[in-house]
Amino acid sequence: MLWHNSVCLAYTQHALIVMSCLAACMVAWMIVSLRRDTQRREAARRVYDRLGQEEDPEIRTRHQARRTHEAALTGLVACRPGGAAPTRCRRKETIMALAPTPQPYLFTIEEYLAFERASDERHEYLDGVIYAMAGESPNHGTICVNLTASLVPQLRGSPCRVFSKDTKVLFGPTPRSRGSRQGLFAYPDLVVVCGTMQFHDAAQDVLLNPTVIIEVLSPSTEGFDRGEKFQRYRHWLPTLTDYVLVAQHQPVMDHYHRTAANRWELVAYEGLEARLELEAIGCTVPLAEVYERVEFPSEEEPS
């Protein structure tokens, strides 16, 4: 009996030690996370304070306008579906509908990159305007994962690599001076890069030389992906050989392939039996793999 009690006491002490270690690890992780967030906020605050203390009145005016624009962005994020204050958001929407629509503040590229690198969320940039990125649907996420799973094994041992939708790409002229606002910074759903990667600056978080770009279409972005965005891809990305648009609601892909300096060929793939051919990187992607576990909307029965 004494031996049994000693064993139980030893196990209890061991469990308490393990629990204490886990608690200490959790506290340490929380401290490191808080310190990292504080450092990011302090870096952004120093940038803002430095701009707010500029002697040039034009710079101070632009800085105040930027603060107003950022506050509007924060309000929009708080009012997204599932936000914490739907009543306040509806009241804000009513007031904004009655008031004249202000022109958005035009950020410089330097301001956008400082803002983005200090932010916990992703934003895209188009000619001075910053856009908060929306969340993705389950089908969107499933298609992106399936595409990555199909391409990665085929590219092993080659000079090409696949990157997910967290890779920022610059589509536009290389800024020649500080204060430039022309350009598009976007996060494609999938990017394939062949050879040495080229970056915008020393931070190495803005890619300049993608070979293949794949976008999964959403109702809110399809027009932009097919129009303005593709036009900039064609004009500003000489390394880009293939641009693929993937539908969510049915097994359909539009594949644009560069055949000459200013000529692009469109090949449409339809049905789960089709196979996407990416000759530039030596890959073949069956649509059946891309749309695995994707739930298509049911067709309405004719009345």
- Domain with 12 in it: 1-53
- For residue 294, give Cα distances in angstroms to 48, 58, 207, 277, 299: 45, 52, 30, 21, 15
171 & 183 share domain: yes
In a domain, 165, yes or no: yes
> What pLDDT, on a 0 to 100 scale, did the predictor assign at position 88?
40
Q: What average pLDDT does the structure give for the chain?
A: 79
189 & 250 share domain: yes
Which tokens is 14 given? Answer: 């061991």
> What pLDDT, on a 0 to 100 scale, did the predictor assign at position 79?
42
pLDDT in tens, 46-87: 655 655 555 555 555 555 555 655 555 554 444 444 444 443
In the predicted model, is pLDDT for residue 105 greater than 90? Answer: no
Number of neighbouring beta carbons within 10 Å of residue 169: 22
- Looking up residue 272, the CATH number of its domain turns out to be 3.90.1570.10
Q: What does pTM read for this prediction?
A: 0.67
Which residue, among 197, 133, 135, 130, has the nearest Cα to 163 in the 3D structure?
197
In a domain, 300, yes or no: no
pLDDT in tens, 274-300: 999 999 999 999 999 999 999 998 765
37 & 83 share domain: no
pLDDT in tens, 112-163: 999 999 988 899 999 999 998 877 899 999 999 999 999 999 999 999 999 9
Task: Count how many domains the chain has.
Answer: 3
153 & 283 share domain: yes
Q: How far apart are CA 186 and CA 210, in angstroms?
A: 12
Q: Which residues pair with 283 in a beta bridge?
A: 278
With H, G, I as helix, E, B as strand and everything else as coil, classify residue 157: coil
21 & 68 share domain: no
97 & 184 share domain: no
